[in-house]
Amino acid sequence: MTTAPRFRAVQLLLYGGVGLWSAFVLMPIAWMVFAAFKTRREIFTDPLGMPQTWTFDSFERAWGVGLGQFMFNSIVVTTGAVFIIILVSGLAAYAIARSTSMWMKLLYLLIVAGFAVPNTAVIVPLYQMVTAANFSNSLFGIIWVYAAYGIPFTTILFFSFFLDFPRELEEAARLDGCRPWAVFFRVVMPLSGPAIASAAIFQAVFIWNEFLLALLLLTQPDRKTLPVGILQLQGEFTSDWPAVMAGLSIATMPIILIFLLLQRSFVRSLAGLGK
Amino acid sequence: MADLTLDAVEKYYGAYHAIKGVSLKVEPGEFIVMVGPSGCGKSTLLRAIAGLETISSGKMTIGERDMTHEPPWDRGVAMVFQNYALYPHMSVRDNMGFALKVARCPKAEIREAVENAAKTLRITEHLDKKPRALSGGQKQRVAIGRAITRAPDVFLFDEPLSNLDAALRSQMRVELGRLHKQLDATMVYVTHDQTEAMTMASRIVVLNEGKIEQVGTPLELYNHPESLFVAGFLGSPKMNFFDGKIVDVAGKALTVAVPGMPTPITLTLDDDVQAPAFDSTVRLGVRPEAVRVGGDIPASIALVESLGNQTLLYLDAGALNCVEAESSDGFITAQLPSQHRYTLGDTVQISWSPDMLYLFDTSGRRLCTPRLAVAK
Amino acid sequence: MKPTPILKPRQSVGVQIVQNQSVLVLPALLICTVFIFIPAFLTIFGSFYAFGLTSQNWEPVGFGNYVRAWNDDVFWIALRNNIIIVLGSIVLQVGIGTVLAAVLDRGISFGQTFFRVIIFMPMVISAVAVALIWLIILDPNIGILNAIVKSVGLSPPKLGWLGDPSISIWMVLVVAAWQYTGFMMVLILAGLQAIPNHLYEAAALDGARGFRAFWSITLPSLRNVLVVAILITTIGGFKVFDLIFVLTNGGPANATQVLGTYIYLQAFTLTNMGYANAVAVVLLAIAVFLGWLQLKVSRRS
């Protein structure tokens, strides 16, 4: 083909563009990891170079801030909130999708309306309510707040999934002797795996990274989640940049690793927001 | 095996009247096929029997038990769905045994029932596969197997063959017939395919706009349709209809003049109907296989379809206009046995064999049907 | 053969465990009411009062808080900054995201997954960590951006990338684009992959290939996805808090103040809770309108 050389040049250009953006994305992350291994002096004298020796000293210092505790708190809060969101939204969406009553449609619209309310806009009363109920610095308390802000979108997601769910399977199950609960738990739930995984990943990413509510509601050091906890690195190590970078590496690497392992599910899940 | 009765069953969806007072008695071991155009209520009726739809009024019994208000799982019915409805997360074995498992039958019994059903349907080697690994025909067998395993009182089929290709469909037709004999079970089968109805049914129920038009054996319906609707619905190609007027009534002999036909036609009134008034409008029906080449009606050939074992001619007979024709041009359809060579535009002379004519009054009710003696 | 009936119809009428289906909706409704609807109502209610962080004394001020916002320069700066972030993010994130998605979808022949994973990666990192990393990268003393700029012979801004009020908001835009462009790319890529291939085949037979096909097939088919992407970016641009709170905390001299950080500042630093509520109501109104728009658009598709 006569167009081959031109075609190759265009390909090269396109690869160059995508490669450039990838480098831009990777550089800060790579720099964070390298800086964590540098000494304080190296950071000043040779900001762009590689570390001279690979020691884990700064990681030890950073861990001392309580990163383990923060991570544990994040895991507890994320797991708890995602579990509630999936269960509560799943039941609600299924009931609404299988109902023909006008009332249920109205309830659905009400829940959906919650999707539009950003927590940034209602933090003042939210803070006062949670404090008044003595739920500040309580992981159990913030789990419910997070659940609330995840339920509307998850309900929308599940609702459209259940609408598309083949009705015949449920009918076949009823003829096979299943009561309504059994239809839900023996046929609908086992087949909702991908939808549940999608919703769970989506909510987990958001809750794991949530900052504002955690900043306001979890002030006690042993109750902080990771996003709030790592903020402490800055204050703790005023000029110990390697320690800050080590702390950030510890905080971000697990989620990056999980993402790399499950990237297909992550991408599918988050791209679902565009539907 | 049990009998099934429907007594004045009505179904409303809001203001829409889907089932208009259907009564039917299905004898034990019968293979009932319900046919009708889409929207006639046949699927709704089947789902009502299954308990998947509630009925607005009326009564339904299976065996001796009133099932009108029983939930689907207590009716002793099994259903084969159009798109199989196999549980994708279960193996074929688990699909077929699911009902028994839900009923907490002993494992050994489930195993035996599943394997017997699989043997009957020749799907034993697929028992441990997942549904997605099966072809359409195999899926359909599993769906039927799932019903057989339960040994229900009544089998329900909702257009089970419509997703299969033509060759597989005729094969499954034969097999379902064999299965019916083998199981000796009561079956209710819904389809829009008249071939399935004609070939498999003990009796056919023709439904139209939520009402039963006629119930009878396939040949009863074909030879003696109670209404214009049944006459037009069964038979392919469709019956030719012509509008005419009664020009003479002499006892049982009715003479009909049809515009465009050179001579009036005389038919014999059926024994159980009233003779129509002189000069009343009637509709004459002629099966395509009753159209003969040779006669006194000139017609030009508009289209020829050579099917190998038969030849279909679409004929333009000028003033003799076919009403409700398959083509909107008012062409007459003729079905000739074996192969013939015709050229488009040629004119042929046609006539009807007099013993294959039907006559209906303006409300579509039967006046005359042919006296055919079915060879035993 | 005739199988013996194993499964006898049960004699009892099946009991529906849930008589009223709406019971299943109640937990969701209850949680949302307590933590979303009541706070939203209280935000509006509280915006007509003046009160402090812990004070029991609520002083009714009518529309006083709104009048105050109208006359408050910082409020307008914050709102303007939100709009700058929204528009800049649409250009950068949706714009670059679309180009990257198009290249990944049909432009390059291998390595799509590799690039997609890398470019999407920042999305899963918390905005706080992102802000902290960039804080150090942009640091005037030890930051690598300074080092890079110096190494090519240019001089970096004297006050620092985030310290110079005329530059800082643009730096925020860059960091936001770093984090979210991959998300937009993936969103749009999903839309691209949903375009049936036979459309391109038909276009090729009509002589449209390359850029021509992109213009006449891809973009029109992508319209809905792009609208959703723009709406998501817009909503995100108005809600932004974490990134700015950590990067600049609204500074220098309110140059990067946005509604989110301003609400926080008024409520929890200056303890003007009533006034913070009034600013929050503005944000709430914008978000509800945009959210309604998003649901309307996505339901149509």
> Which residues of chain B does C15 touch, with a Cβ-Cβ cutoff of 8 Å?
none
Q: Quick check: helix, strand or coil at residue C195?
A: coil
Rounded to an integer, the average pLDDT of A228-237 is 83
Question: What is the distance of C-alpha C71 from the center of its chain?
Answer: 28
Rounded to an integer, the average pLDDT of B239-245 is 90
User: Hey, which of B282-296, C79-93, C134-148 has the most confident mean pLDDT?
Assistant: C79-93
Q: Are strands B291-306 and B310-316 parallel, antiparallel or unpaired?
A: antiparallel
Instruction: For B2, name the nearest residue in chain C, comparing CA atoms only.
Output: C5
Rounded to an integer, the average pLDDT of C203-231 is 81
Q: Is residue B164, in this structure, part of any structural domain at all?
A: yes
Q: Which of residues 38-77 of B touch A (CB under 8 A)?
A: 47, 50-52, 71-73, 77
Domain that holds residue B297: 240-368
CATH number for the domain including B163?
3.40.50.300
Q: Is residue B376, in this structure, part of any structural domain at all?
A: no
Last residue of a domain, one of B200, B232, B264: B232
Instruction: For C122, name the nearest residue in chain A, comparing CA atoms only.
Output: A25
Whether B194 and B87 map to the same domain: the answer is: yes
**Residue C17 touches partner B, C-beta closer than 8 Å:** no
Q: What pLDDT does B374 receive?
A: 56
- The per-residue pLDDT for range B106-125, each reduced to its tens digit, is 999 999 999 999 988 889 99
Which residues are B157's β-sheet partners?
A: B80, B189
CATH number for the domain including B284?
2.40.50.140
How far, CA to CA in Å, does C129 sit from each of A113, B32, B61, C53, C167?
31, 70, 69, 29, 22
In the predicted model, what is the mean pLDDT of chain B? 88
Residue percentage of chain B with pLDDT more than 90: 31
Domains annotated for chain A, with CATH where assigned, are 4-55 (no CATH), 66-274 (1.10.3720.10)
Q: What pLDDT does A80 receive?
A: 96
Q: One-letter amino acid identity for B48?
A: A
Whether B11 and B38 map to the same domain: the answer is: yes
- Do residue B83 and residue A178 have CB atoms under 8 angstroms apart? no
Q: What pLDDT does C86 receive?
A: 95
A201 in Cβ contact with A266 (< 8 Å): yes
Rounded to an integer, the average pLDDT of C73-77 is 94
Rounded to an integer, the average pLDDT of B230-241 is 89
Q: What pLDDT does C299 receive?
A: 63
The phi, psi pair for A140, rounded to 5°, reads -60, -40
Residue percentage of chain B with pLDDT more than 70: 97
Whether B20 and B94 map to the same domain: the answer is: yes
A96 in Cβ contact with A104 (< 8 Å): yes
Q: What pLDDT does C12 receive?
A: 30
The C-alpha of B238 sits at a distance from chain A's nearest C-alpha, in angstroms, of: 34
A147 in Cβ contact with A84 (< 8 Å): yes
Whether B312 and B216 map to the same domain: the answer is: no
- Do residue C22 and residue A28 have CB atoms under 8 angstroms apart? no
> Which residues of chain B does A166 touch, with a Cβ-Cβ cutoff of 8 Å?
83, 85
Whether B26 and B95 map to the same domain: the answer is: yes
Q: What pLDDT does C179 receive?
A: 94
Q: Which of C139, C145, C147, C143 is nearest to C163 (CA)?
A: C139
Output the CA angle B62-B66-B67, nearest 5 degrees.
70
- DSSP letters for B64-85: TEE-TT--GGGTTEEEE-TT--
Domain total of chain B: 2
Instruction: For B148, name the nearest residue in chain C, comparing CA atoms only.
Output: C3
**Is the pLDDT assigned to residue A182 strictly greater than 90?**
no
Whether B207 and B315 map to the same domain: the answer is: no
Q: Is residue B341, in this structure, part of any structural domain at all?
A: yes
Whether B175 and B305 map to the same domain: the answer is: no
- The per-residue pLDDT for range A127-139, each reduced to its tens digit, is 989 988 888 888 9
3-state SS of B271-318 is CCCCCCCCCCEEEEEECHHHEEEEEEEEEEEEEEEECCCEEEEEEEEC
> Which residues of chain C does B150 touch, with a Cβ-Cβ cutoff of 8 Å?
6-7
> Which residues of chain A does C258 touch, with a Cβ-Cβ cutoff of 8 Å?
none
Q: What pLDDT does C20 receive?
A: 64
**Is the pLDDT assigned to residue A169 strictly greater than 70?**
yes
**Residue C3 touches partner B, C-beta closer than 8 Å:** yes
Cβ–Cβ pairs < 8 A, chains B and C: 50
Q: What pLDDT does B328 receive?
A: 64
Q: What is the band of A210 on the pLDDT scale with cuts at 50, 70, 90?
A: very high
Whether B302 and B182 map to the same domain: the answer is: no
Q: What pLDDT does A273 receive?
A: 63
The neighbours of chain B, by the rule of 3 or more Cβ pairs under 8 Å, are A, C
**Residue B78 touches partner A, C-beta closer than 8 Å:** yes
B150 in Cβ contact with B162 (< 8 Å): no
Rounded to an integer, the average pLDDT of C80-96 is 95
Q: Determine the angle formed by the axes of helices A226-236 and C127-137, rounding to 10 degrees.
A: 30
Instruction: For A254, name the nearest residue in chain C, comparing CA atoms only.
Output: C125
Whether B259 and B216 map to the same domain: the answer is: no
Which residues are B24's β-sheet partners?
A: B6
Q: Quick check: helix, strand or coil at residue B204?
A: strand
**Residue A63 touches partner C, C-beta closer than 8 Å:** no
- Do residue A175 and residue B73 have CB atoms under 8 angstroms apart? yes
**Residue B15 touches partner A, C-beta closer than 8 Å:** no
Place of tokens 């950080």: C261
Rounded to an integer, the average pLDDT of B250-267 is 87
**Is the pLDDT assigned to residue B250 strictly greater than 60?**
yes
Output the CA angle C277-C281-C284, nearest 5 degrees.
130
Rounded to an integer, the average pLDDT of C193-221 is 79
Q: What pLDDT does C8 receive?
A: 39
Check residues A174 and B1 and name the one with the higher pLDDT.
Answer: A174
Whether B199 and B265 map to the same domain: the answer is: no
Q: From CA B187, how far away is CA B29, in angstroms rounded?
A: 7
Residue percentage of chain C with pLDDT more than 70: 92
Q: Is residue B374, in this structure, part of any structural domain at all?
A: no
- Do residue C3 and residue B184 have CB atoms under 8 angstroms apart? no
Last residue of a domain, one of B208, B232, B256: B232
Whether B156 and B300 map to the same domain: the answer is: no
Cβ–Cβ pairs < 8 A, chains A and B: 56
Check residues C63 and B355 and name the one with the higher pLDDT.
Answer: C63
Q: Which two tokens stand for residue A232?
A: 């402490």
Q: Is residue B373, in this structure, part of any structural domain at all?
A: no
**Is the pLDDT assigned to residue C19 strictly greater than 80?**
no
The neighbours of chain C, by the rule of 3 or more Cβ pairs under 8 Å, are A, B
The neighbours of chain A, by the rule of 3 or more Cβ pairs under 8 Å, are B, C
Q: From CA B64, how far away is CA B5, in angstroms rounded?
A: 10
Q: From CA B217, how far away is CA A250, in angstroms rounded?
A: 79
Q: One-letter amino acid identity for B39?
A: G
Q: From CA B173, how far away is CA B156, in angstroms rounded?
A: 15
Q: What pLDDT does C165 receive?
A: 85
Whether B12 and B152 map to the same domain: the answer is: yes
> Which residues of chain A does C110 touch, with a Cβ-Cβ cutoff of 8 Å?
none
How far, CA to CA in Å, does A181 sit from each of A94, A187, A196?
11, 10, 18
> Measured between CB atoms, which of B71, B153, B184 is closest to C14?
B71
Task: Classify residue C75 by burial, with Cβ atoms within 10 Å: 0-12, 13-18, 19+.
Answer: buried
- The per-residue pLDDT for range B175-223, each reduced to its tens digit, is 898 889 888 889 999 998 888 999 999 999 999 999 999 999 999 999 8
> Measured between CB atoms, which of C36, C280, C292 is closest to A149?
C36
Which residues are B283's β-sheet partners?
A: B243, B360
ipTM of the assembly?
0.87
Q: What is the band of C9 on the pLDDT scale with cuts at 50, 70, 90?
A: very low
A212 in Cβ contact with A120 (< 8 Å): yes
Q: What pLDDT does A66 receive?
A: 85
**Radius of gyration for the alpha carbons in chain B, expressed in angstroms and rounded:** 24
- The per-residue pLDDT for range A7-52, each reduced to its tens digit, is 678 888 888 889 999 999 999 998 888 888 888 777 777 767 777 7
Domains annotated for chain C, with CATH where assigned, are 64-127+164-300 (1.10.3720.10)
**Is the pLDDT assigned to residue C257 strictly greater than 90?**
yes
